[in-house]
Amino acid sequence: MFKKDLIANYLGQAWTALLMIGMVPFYIKYLGIESYGLIGVFGVLQIWFSLLDMGMTPTLNREMAILKANPSNLKDARNLLRSFEYIFLGISFFVFIIIFLSSDWISKKWLNSNGLSIKEVSQSLVLMGGIICLRFYESIYKSSLIGLKKQVLFNFVNFFLVNIRWIGAAGVLIWISPTIKAFFLWQIFVSVITFITLLKTTYISLPSSLEEGRFSTQILKKTGKFTSAMSILSVLTIILTQVDKILLSKLLSLTDYGYYTMSALIASSLSLLAGPIITTIYPVLCELYAKNDLEHLKDRFHKFAQLITVSMGSLAFLLIFFCDKILLIWSQDIVIVNHCLILVRLLTIGNLLNGLMWIPYQTQLAYGQTGLSIKINSISVLVIIPAIFIIAPIYGAIGVAYIWILLNTGYILISAQFIFNNILHEEKRAWYLNDLCIPLTTAILVIGTSYLLEPEGRNQLFQFFWILITFLTSLTVCSLSSSKIRPTLLYLVKAYINKK
């Protein structure tokens, strides 16, 4: 089941990311870069309003995972789900009212639009509010299904919904109306379908019970400590990762903000490979900790830390070395390459460093320890916000990208020391050496050598296959250099040969 969940998450999340990234040049063609900048604003608003989650979806994920280890908690799990449904309903209504009332002010006073009218921007913001509310509510059922380890089912359902959302949007722009308003109207329609589908799927997946869930202040109090801590962590994390986007949406024109959004999206493709691992491993870590099975927990920790380093490292160095060629093959637009090249490289480095900390962070949450992360992120916020206020007006997006790199370097070199003092203290040296240094060094050597040996003057088809082969070679060699991945890889190869 564990391997099936991982494969399902890879296929599901990979396809989602590929659609989102692959459709960007198409959207820019039909909507223009300024309207795409407005889509970037939508993404930022969605993330900031997710602060109102207040740690509830991580709590729901964790409690559903514990339910798998202890089925007697079924009543509490059902009550927790129903309680959060009522709370999210009130929050969603509040979010929509806030966005509706502030839409005119944001369109006139905050966003710098040249080609779009104030009315178009304001209407788009109202539509964004509806989508944000529906997606906010969806997160309850997504977290429940992942915690219940129904990840194969979730990804099967999500595959069809994602295709409807993004490919359907392309059809709307081609055959109905190539406007930003039409784009957001389609997103609302798909969000309604998604909400209903995930709701029904979640309740079907819960173990059967004669007793329906109900709103329970008792279960809210029981999980309140972890929920409150996760709420604080969510606030701090979003400030750290999104404050740059809020400030730049004010400082930059919508056109320049569109290029920044595009660069951030490409750099975030690292999560294409690492995201499914995190989605799969967190419920497992929670279950192993609940069972006090620390030996298996340590093994899973190192195996998936190495898997993240191998996958993210290979893709990150590919983007860094071959960035100009990848951007041109993807966009077929030299203007986009010139605007995004440096930003993509810098943001990729920062995202790689950030991703390397995901497994220690998730393990700490599985232990139920949140205090240290709150302290670390609080200090980081006190540093990064003044830094962005000073740097952004002078150096713009490039300066902010350097701040992102410095912040995550601090996490790797300093914050990790404190995390390993709290959990898995004896595993720190192995994490730095085996889980990080060896796979990363191997990736640099493989991809750097390929970059130096690439023949000049070849067409884009040749470049595409050269880059693809380089990436696959890096994945293979890095996997063989990783102590926890190598045995599994060799076993699979032997099993395949024996079948032959």
Is the whole-model pTM more than 0.85? Answer: no
pLDDT band at 71 (very low <50, low <70, confident <90, very high): low
Average pLDDT of the chain is: 82
- The residue type of 343 is L
Higher pLDDT, 117 or 225: 117
CB 114 within 8 A of CB 254: yes
Task: Pick the range with the lowest mean pLDDT from 10-24, 66-80, 111-125.
Answer: 66-80
Return the pLDDT at 467.
93
**What value does the mean pLDDT take over residues 4-29?**
72
Q: What distance in Å separates the CA atoms of residue 428 and residue 410, rounded to the nearest whole number?
A: 16
Q: What is the pLDDT of residues 391-404, one digit of tens each?
A: 878 887 888 899 98
Among 234-238, 259-263, 414-418, the least confident range = 234-238
- For the stretch 420-479, pLDDT in tens is 887 877 888 889 999 999 999 999 999 999 999 988 878 888 999 999 999 999 999 999
- What confidence score (pLDDT) does residue 274 get? 72
pLDDT for 478 equals 92
**Mean pLDDT, to the nearest integer, of 19-36?**
80
Cα end-to-end span (Å), the chain: 25
pLDDT at 43 > cutoff 60: yes
- The pLDDT score that the predictor gives to residue 473 is 94
Q: Which residue has the higher pLDDT, 338 or 500?
A: 338
* Residue 55 DSSP class: T
* Dist CA 192 CA 135 (whole Å): 9
Q: Tens digit of pLDDT for each residue in 160-209?
A: 888 888 888 888 988 998 898 999 999 999 999 999 998 888 888 777 66
Give the best-scoring range by mean pLDDT among 61-75, 137-151, 304-318.
304-318
CB 161 within 8 A of CB 194: yes
- Which alpha helices (DSSP H) does 53-179 contain, by range? 56-69, 74-105, 118-147, 151-175
Is residue 286 scored above 90 in pLDDT? no
Query: For residue 205, with 0-12 CB atoms within 10 Å meaning exposed, 13-18 middle and 19 or more buried, which class applies?
Result: middle
Res 2 pLDDT > 60: no
The answer, yes or no, to whether residue 347 has pLDDT greater than 90, is yes
pLDDT at 53 over 60: yes
Mean pLDDT for the stretch of residues 231-237: 72
Is the confidence at residue 345, as pLDDT, over 90? Answer: yes
Report CA torsion sign: 363, 367, 370, 371. Answer: negative
In this prediction, residues 101-128 reach a mean pLDDT of: 85
Structure tokens at 481: 């250099």
